[in-house]
Amino acid sequence: AQSVTQLDSHVSVSEGTPVLLRCNYSSSYSPSLFWYVQHPNKGLQLLLKYTSAATLVKGINGFEAEFKKSETSFHLTKPSAHMSDAAEYFCVVSDPWAAGNKLTFGGGTRVLVKP
Amino acid sequence: DSGVTQTPKHLITATGQRVTLRCSPRSGDLSVYWYQQSLDQGLQFLIQYYNGEERAKGNILERFSAQQFPDLHSELNLSSLELGDSALYFCASSATSGGGVEQFFGPGTRLTVL
C-alpha cells in the first residue's frame, strides 16, 4: 500500500521569500513521486517528477524537490515566491512496477503569497 | 492547456438522477483515468482504462461505471445520485498503462447534486 502525508495544509509566504512544502510518503517499493499544482478553478498541472534517477529534481517555474529515501520525504522548494505561485499543491505517489497507474494524492497544501 | 478535454464543465442535477461525464484524452494517449475531488475525501482515484480495457480500479462506488470507446474517449456514468456525490471529477490521460508515468489532467467537471 502507498500513502502520502503533506505536513502543512496551509503555507503563507511573502513575495520574494523562499517556499517550502513538506511531503512524506509511505511505500513498500521504490516509488515514483510527483508534485502537481492546482490553480483556482483549474485542472492539475505537473510541476516535476522523481523516477529513481537524480535525487534532486528540477521542475517548471523555478520549483525543485529532493528525494530523501532515509527520511521518506520529497519536499518541494522555490527560492523566491511570486504572486502567481498562489495555488494548491499536491504531492503524489505511484508504484512504477504496477500494471496500472493509480496515483495516490496527499491532502494538499494551499499556498498564500502576500505582497 | 494539457490537451485533455472534459464536458460538460458544470452539471447541476437532483438526487436520484443519472449523469454522464465525457473525456477525450491527449492525442496519442491510450490510458484514461478518472478521479474525484471533494472537500472531505480529497483527490481519489476511481478507475483506469487502457485501450478500451479496465486496467486498475480504486474505491469506485457500484453506482458509478465507466467505459472507454474505440476512439479512446471515455465516459463516466454516475447513477442514483446522492448529495455526497457533489464533487469535481477529473479525467487524466497518459501514453502508457504502467505505473510511475505522469498523467495529464483535464479541467474537470463540477457536479452539483441538489
Report chain A's mean pLDDT, rounded to a whole number: 93
The pLDDT of residue B98: 83
From chain B, pick out residues whose CB is under 8 angstroms from the CB of A96: 98-100
Contact A102 B45 (CB under 8 A): yes
Across the interface, which of B97, B103, B108 has its CB nearest the CB of A103?
A: B103
Render pLDDT for A92-109 as a digit per residue (tens, 0 to 9): 999 888 878 899 999 999
Distances (CA, A) of A46 to A29, A60, A64, A90: 22, 8, 12, 10
The pLDDT of residue B101: 87
Residue with the three cell numbers 513575495: A15
Please determine, for residue A52, whether its predicted confidence score (pLDDT) is greater than 80.
no
The pLDDT of residue B17: 98
Across the interface, which of B56, B92, B106 has its CB nearest the CB of A100?
A: B56
Q: How far is A81 from chain B (nearest CA, A)?
A: 23
The pLDDT of residue B21: 98
Contact B104 A46 (CB under 8 A): yes
CA–CA gap between residue A84 and residue A45 (Å, rounded) = 14
Render pLDDT for B32-55 as a digit per residue (tens, 0 to 9): 999 999 988 999 999 999 999 999
Considering only CA atoms, which of A57, A65, A27, A59 is closest in space to residue A45? A59
Contact B100 A43 (CB under 8 A): no
Q: Can you list the residues of chain B whose pLDDT is less than 70?
A: none
| Average pLDDT of the segment spanning A23-42 | 90
Please determine, for residue A55, whether its predicted confidence score (pLDDT) is greater than 80.
yes
Query: Each residue of B55-80: b (16+ CB within 10 Å) or e?
Result: bbebebeeebebebeeebebbbebee
From chain A, pick out residues whose CB is under 8 angstroms from the CB of B106: 43
| Average pLDDT of the segment spanning A2-24 | 96
CA–CA gap between residue B4 and residue A109 (Å, rounded) = 25
Q: Which of A15-24, A32-41, A60-69, A92-101 has the lowest mean pLDDT?
A: A92-101
The pLDDT of residue B37: 95
CA–CA gap between residue A90 and residue A42 (Å, rounded) = 14
The pLDDT of residue A98: 80
